[in-house]
């Protein structure tokens, strides 16, 4: 606890900001350490020192948008690729859900630096989070995230009979991917052809690959929850703002 750490790193650890935000605020003189303004980039602090931010920083942060979208099939989560459009193109006034209760008003600046906080495959649908807020991105995709993600997955068994209970248990815990053991999951049958997956990690095409390992073919995949935030009745292809009373 007596080792010096970069101020921006410490601010990120405390959940005050992302590292990039921290550097911007430090340069603007909006950060105080033990009551004194620190404006030099690369400054270091002790973990025991008190860090506070000016009201301007809080106000700037509160204006940053976090948007929930019900992504349809055929859109990629991030940058355009292979001729497919990114989900961000759906964020326009005419696609805003009419039942969105947020008082935020849409303006084009909200599309700047709006990044996906986690992936959703091109052939998957459901809840996708796009945010300008580095704290949200870190919480959802950081290395130490504990946030659950819930999926409804339609499957077809490619072998005779039904999926053995032992293979269902393997889906819950025991599979390896890319030479590394997967974290425990919660996988249960919802009906004859639909599974519910609850994961705390998100490797590329993880659910499809997990199912493949036990002889299941995924025919549909929908993300319905991230942490405490649910897709709910948000229509496919439409979006809404994260409300002030919602926490992942």
Annotated catalytic residues are 121
DSSP-assigned letters across all residues of 165-205: HHHHHHHHTT-EETTEEPPP-EEEEEETTEEEEEES---TT
Q: Identify the CA nearest to 139 among candidates 229, 49, 244, 240.
A: 229
By the 10 Å C-beta count (0-12 exposed, 13-18 middle, 19+ buried), 200 is classed as: middle
Distances (CA, A) of 68 to 128, 139, 165: 6, 15, 36
Task: Say how far apart CA 190 and CA 149 lie, in whole Å.
Answer: 17
User: Distance between alpha carbon 30 and the CA centroid of its chain, in Å?
Assistant: 28
Three-state DSSP class for 238? Answer: coil
């Amino acid at each position: 606890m007596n080792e010096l750490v970069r101020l921006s790193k410490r601010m990120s650890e405390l959940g005050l900001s992302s590292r990039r935000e921290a550097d911007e605020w430090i340069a603007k003189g909006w950060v105080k350490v033990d009551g004194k303004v620190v404006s030099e980039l690369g400054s270091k602090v002790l973990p025991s020192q008190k860090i506070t931010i000016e009201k301007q920083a809080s106000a700037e942060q509160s204006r940053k948008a976090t948007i929930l979208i019900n992504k349809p099939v055929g859109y990629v989560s991030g940058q355009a690729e292979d001729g497919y459009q990114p989900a961000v193109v759906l964020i326009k006034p005419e696609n805003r859900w009419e039942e969105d209760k947020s008082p935020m008003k849409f303006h084009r600046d909200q599309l700047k630096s709006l990044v996906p906080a986690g992936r959703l495959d091109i052939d998957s649908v459901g809840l996708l989070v796009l945010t300008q807020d580095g704290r949200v991105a870190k919480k959802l995709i950081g290395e130490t995230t504990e946030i659950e993600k819930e999926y409804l997955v339609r499957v077809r068994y490619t072998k005779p009979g039904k999926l053995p209970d032992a293979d269902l248990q393997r889906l819950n815990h025991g599979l390896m991917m890319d030479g590394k053991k997967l974290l425990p999951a919660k996988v249960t049958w919802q009906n004859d052809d639909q599974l519910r997956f609850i994961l705390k990690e998100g490797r590329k095409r993880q659910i499809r690959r997990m199912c493949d390992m036990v002889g299941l073919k995924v025919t549909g995949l929908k993300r319905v929850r991230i942490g405490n935030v649910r897709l709910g009745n948000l229509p496919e292809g439409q979006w809404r703002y994260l409300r002030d009373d919602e926490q992942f």
